[in-house]
């Protein structure tokens, strides 16, 4: 899942410069393909506020294919809480995020943000209140200044420089995404494998910045590497479209189930194959 709403708003504008830009065409086409014909709602989600309340009840979902991808997922995040979704590749983690962003309707089940049914919310206000730090950030062939600005085109120069200073110490693409998110000051922050493509040293640095960014906001982290999400208020372990365990890192370790097994096998692997310094 990537920064979606702004690219859609600016597609017309961007088309002119497309040929000489470094846009990832697959990314753009994916947006166009996956964007559904959802009906827009009329209730405005508050743009500013201390986090966002998320309640998902019994979500069932399948893409066009017949295979069920989500099989009765329920979750709650209170304003300011951070939750992590972990589990094997293909178990449906990013699909939950896509439903939350209203790119698709659930086949069954409900999603409420701030106690409002997602289907009643205006798309613009929804995307205005959410920032996403994806695994692979798309940069436009333009200055860092403009790459950051695009999350809030009305921002003034001082605000943009401030956002860049808050995020840009390592010069990584991910830091541009984080600077965009700082500038947007979202109520909900979604990090979808935001640091998984980074080497371990850069990952540690980027995680520190993400921690600053996440403070006071509701956050959803989708991650494979458990050490990056162990401090979340709640960890949801998914398998095959269902949440099979839920709790804090400590709770889940003491339960000795799937999470505890994932944790020990990742620890073992990192001991056996230390990541490059």
- The binding site for ligand ATP (CB under 6 A) comprises 34, 63, 65, 69, 89-95
End-to-end CA distance of the chain: 29
* DSSP code string of 16-49: TTGGGS---HHHHHHHHHH---PPP--BPPPSSS
Q: How far is the CB of 235 from ligand ATP (least distance, A)?
A: 15
Nearer Cβ to ligand ATP (34/201): 34
Nearer Cβ to ligand ATP (104/140): 104
Q: How far is the CB of 71 from ligand ATP (least distance, A)?
A: 11
Q: How far is the CB of 104 from ligand ATP (least distance, A)?
A: 8
Nearer Cβ to ligand ATP (37/65): 65
Q: How far is the CB of 62 from ligand ATP (least distance, A)?
A: 8
Q: What is the dihedral of CA 235, 237, 241, 243, to 10 degrees?
A: -70
From CA 145, how far away is CA 120, in angstroms rounded?
35
From CA 271, how far away is CA 141, in angstroms rounded?
40
From CA 123, how far away is CA 81, in angstroms rounded?
23
Q: List Cα–Cα distances, 73 to 47, 59, 249, 253, in angstroms.
A: 27, 5, 20, 22
Q: How far is the CB of 266 from ligand ATP (least distance, A)?
A: 14
Nearer Cβ to ligand ATP (3/149): 3
Nearer Cβ to ligand ATP (240/248): 240
Number of Cβ within 10 Å of residue 151's Cβ equals 24
Residue 178, C-beta contacts closer than 8 angstroms, at least 6 positions apart: 133, 166, 167, 206, 209, 210, 213
Nearer Cβ to ligand ATP (173/225): 225
Question: What's the DSSP call for residue 275?
Answer: P
Tell me phi and psi for residue 82, to 5 degrees: -110, 130
Contact 253, 263 (CB under 8 A): yes
Q: Pick from 37, 29, 12, 2: which is nearest to 127 by CA?
A: 2
Nearer Cβ to ligand ATP (97/183): 97
Q: How far is the CB of 225 from ligand ATP (least distance, A)?
A: 11
Q: How far is the CB of 145 from ligand ATP (least distance, A)?
A: 31
């Amino acid at each position: 899942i990537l920064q979606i709403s702004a690219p859609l708003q600016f597609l017309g504008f961007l088309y002119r410069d497309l040929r000489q830009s470094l846009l990832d065409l697959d990314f753009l086409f994916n947006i166009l393909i996956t964007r559904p014909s959802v009906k827009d709602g009329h209730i405005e989600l508050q743009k500013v506020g201390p986090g966002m309340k998320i309640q998902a009840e019994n979500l069932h979902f399948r893409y066009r294919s017949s295979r069920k991808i989500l099989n009765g997922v329920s979750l709650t995040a209170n304003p300011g809480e951070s939750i992590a979704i972990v589990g094997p590749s293909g178990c449906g983690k990013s699909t939950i995020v896509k439903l939350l962003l209203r790119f698709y309707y659930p086949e069954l089940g409900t999603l409420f943000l701030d106690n409002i049914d997602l289907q009643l919310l205006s798309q613009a206000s929804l995307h205005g209140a959410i920032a996403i730090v994806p695994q692979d950030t798309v940069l436009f062939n333009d200055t860092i200044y403009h790459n950051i600005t695009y999350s809030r085109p009305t921002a003034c120069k001082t605000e943009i420089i401030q956002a860049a200073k808050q995020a840009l110490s390592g010069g990584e693409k991910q830091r541009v995404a984080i600077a965009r998110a700082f500038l947007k000051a979202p109520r909900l922050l979604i990090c979808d494998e935001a640091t998984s493509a980074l080497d371990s040293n850069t990952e540690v640095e980027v995680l520190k910045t993400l921690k600053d960014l996440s403070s006071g906001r509701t956050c959803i982290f989708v991650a494979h590497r458990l050490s990056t999400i162990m401090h979340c208020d709640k960890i949801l372990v998914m398998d095959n479209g269902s949440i099979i365990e839920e709790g804090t890192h400590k709770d889940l370790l003491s339960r000795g189930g799937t999470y505890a097994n994932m944790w020990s096998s990742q620890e073992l692997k990192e001991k056996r194959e230390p990541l490059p310094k």
